[in-house]
Amino acid sequence: MRWVLLGVMLAMLLSMLDNMVVSTAMPTIVGDLGGLEHISWVVTAYTLVTAVTTPVWGKLGDLVGRKSMYLASIAVFIVGSALCGAAQSMDELIAFRIVQGIGAGGIGAGAFALIGALVPPRERGKYQGMTASVMAIGTIGGPLLGGFITDHWDWRWAFYINLPLGLISLVWLALMLRTPVQHIKAKIDWLGISLLTVAITAVVLAATWAGTTYSWGSWQILSLGAVAVIGLVLFVRVEQRVGEPLLPLSVFTNHRNYPLAMAMILVAGVVMFGGGLYLPLFQQTVQGASATNSGLLMLPMMIPVVLVSTLAGKVMSATGRYKIFPVVGAAFLTVGLGLLATMDTGTSRLLTGLYMVFVGIGLGFTLQMASTIAQNSVALRDMGAAMSSVNLFRTLGGSLGVAVFGSLFTRATQSHLPVTGGADASVLRNLPRGAKEAYFDAVAVGTSHIFLTGAILCALAFLAALLVIEVPLKGAGVPAPADTAENTPVVTAA
């Protein structure tokens, strides 16, 4: 089982490394390609497509076979990475990030579904050390690797580095992964897929453009809001009637723990993506850190995630108790982000690192436990669709967070941009002192608004954690034998 899970987690590492490496390299990428005003779109386009495709990959995994869909998603991700590395403009990079996002949606959906099917909730703590090790390599090694690449190599290697790791993942999983036999004949919910795509796209575009490109009360933003609401209402109606829904609504209504877990995961996505993008930008711009040093300066947040996640997993497996962890985690997140919101141009790196420790502890207590609560609330038959919702809400939270944060940041800095194309370190060094200080002040204000918004959201997640009902964790007997081969069922198009 450990060898099988190691292959699954190796593919998860692929997308985790990409997020961290690209976040650290973004200031250098903007300095080369220009377009600082579009920095959020490099992440927003990726997370938007990931969110849209996640439930599709998850459902296809339930119907067609999780192994084949997982391998296909890794292949798409590798192609997208190669294209991103060859991008010659910010527009091309954003377009190729969409291809990457399609593959990432399948990696996230497949990984959670496979882990959910192979390891019952009560036993997941036994393998928490493996998950924590992957998180350590991804969250700690990612920023370091990103900093090293941007300081010593070309930033394009931030994407090319995915190619050898992706190929290793493909071969490993092709040889080692075995999934349960499936004999399912069902129609694919194309109408549900289309409606969910429209609704999610409208929400993310509204969050991205509101307050910057268009005012909050403009007809463009109001129209997108209306499209999102109508699309969501129609999606719910369709899911209630089709025989094989894209997202079975029963997983949201059978037990209140599932929607509460989704709320916590949504907020965690906001914190992870937003903090991962704008903390390195603040450290490199205001605090004068190099790309490599900004990666090292992320360690105070990343190390507690690994340590706390491992500890919580062991306690959960030994006692079967878990509610206390997301409650404490959401409280730490609220305090940590509130402290980060107080940063200004005079804040030291040491103090910033201390604040980040609170955020890391919060994420360590919240992320894994919220996923376990969600898994413990659904049947194995719906595991793919249900666990893809976990990744959907995480990536949707990240997409919305980056979009809203990008709007707040752009509004604070757009009148202080030193040049039209961007503001890399070499440009900032040559600025007049007054212009440089004004820009640093604007960046500090923008990041302060970002973390204050995050703190408010984490306070809401704290309330959701308090409402969780602690029910016994499901025990062994759910996973299929590791040597059971996968058969492809018959699937017809609607």
Task: Report helix, strand and coil shares of the chain as percent, to nearest 5.
Answer: 80, 0, 20
Hey, is 315 helix, strand or coil?
helix
212 alpha carbon, distance to own chain's centre: 24
pLDDT, one tens digit per residue, over 52-66 is 787 777 777 767 777
Among 287-301, 320-334, 359-373, the range with the most confident prediction by mean pLDDT is 320-334
Question: What's the pLDDT score for residue 230?
Answer: 93
Question: What's the pLDDT score for residue 354?
Answer: 92
119 Cβ contact partners less than 8 Å away, ≥ 6 residues apart: 1, 5, 127, 479
Question: What's the pLDDT score for residue 379?
Answer: 65
Of 265, 483, 228, 292, the C-alpha closest to 371 is: 265
pLDDT higher for 481 or 397? 397
CA distance 139 to 150: 17
pLDDT higher for 484 or 392? 392
Torsion of CA 204, 209, 211, 212, to 10 degrees: 140
Decide if 97 contacts 23 (C-beta within 8 A). no
pLDDT, one tens digit per residue, over 353-373 is 899 999 989 888 887 788 778
Which DSSP string corresponds to 206-260? HHHHBTTTB-TTSHHHHHHHHHHHHHHHHHHHHHHHSSS-SS-THHHHS-THHHH
Determine the Cα angle at 118 with ends 117 and 120, to 5°.
Answer: 80
* Summary mean pLDDT of the chain: 75
pLDDT, one tens digit per residue, over 126-168 is 665 566 667 656 666 666 676 677 667 777 887 888 888 888 8
74 alpha carbon, distance to own chain's centre: 16
CA distance 438 to 230: 43
Question: What's the pLDDT score for residue 388?
Answer: 66
Question: What's the pLDDT score for residue 420?
Answer: 43
Question: What's the pLDDT score for residue 483?
Answer: 34
pLDDT higher for 91 or 354? 354
Question: What's the pLDDT score for residue 488?
Answer: 37
Which contiguous run of DSSP H or E holds residue 493? strand 491-493
Q: Indicate the range of 35-44, 97-106, 209-218, 313-322 predicted with least confidence.
A: 35-44
Of 414, 417, 424, 416, the C-alpha closest to 31 is: 424
- And the tokens for 151? 């300081």
Question: What's the pLDDT score for residue 357?
Answer: 92
CA distance 75 to 98: 14
Of 490, 23, 8, the C-alpha closest to 302 is: 23
Which DSSP string corresponds to 27-76? HHHHHHH--GGGHHHHHHHHHHHHHHHHHHHHHHHHHH-HHHHHHHHHHH
- pTM across the whole model: 0.69
pLDDT, one tens digit per residue, over 255-271 is 678 888 888 888 887 87
Decide if 359 contacts 336 (C-beta within 8 A). yes
Which amino acid, residue 328? V
412 Cβ contact partners less than 8 Å away, ≥ 6 residues apart: 442, 443, 445, 446, 449
CA distance 19 to 22: 5
Question: What's the pLDDT score for residue 120?
Answer: 63
Question: What's the pLDDT score for residue 416?
Answer: 57
Question: What's the pLDDT score for residue 141?
Answer: 66
CA separation, residue 380 to residues 14, 160, 259, 386 (Å): 26, 37, 18, 9
pLDDT, one tens digit per residue, over 169-208 is 888 888 877 765 555 555 677 888 888 888 888 887 787 6
Question: What's the pLDDT score for residue 226?
Answer: 92
Question: What's the pLDDT score for residue 479?
Answer: 40
Question: What's the pLDDT score for residue 227?
Answer: 92
pLDDT, one tens digit per residue, over 395-411 is 677 667 776 777 777 77
Q: Indicate the range of 12-16, 382-386, 462-466, 483-487 predicted with least confidence.
A: 483-487
Question: Across residues 342-360, what is the average pLDDT?
Answer: 88
Q: Indicate the range of 202-206, 217-221, 241-245 predicted with least confidence.
A: 241-245
CA distance 52 to 400: 13
Question: Across residues 415-419, what is the average pLDDT?
Answer: 54
CA distance 101 to 455: 27
Position 294 confidence tier, pLDDT thresholds 50, 70, 90:
low
Which amino acid, residue 67? K
Which amino acid, residue 421? G
CA distance 477 to 365: 27
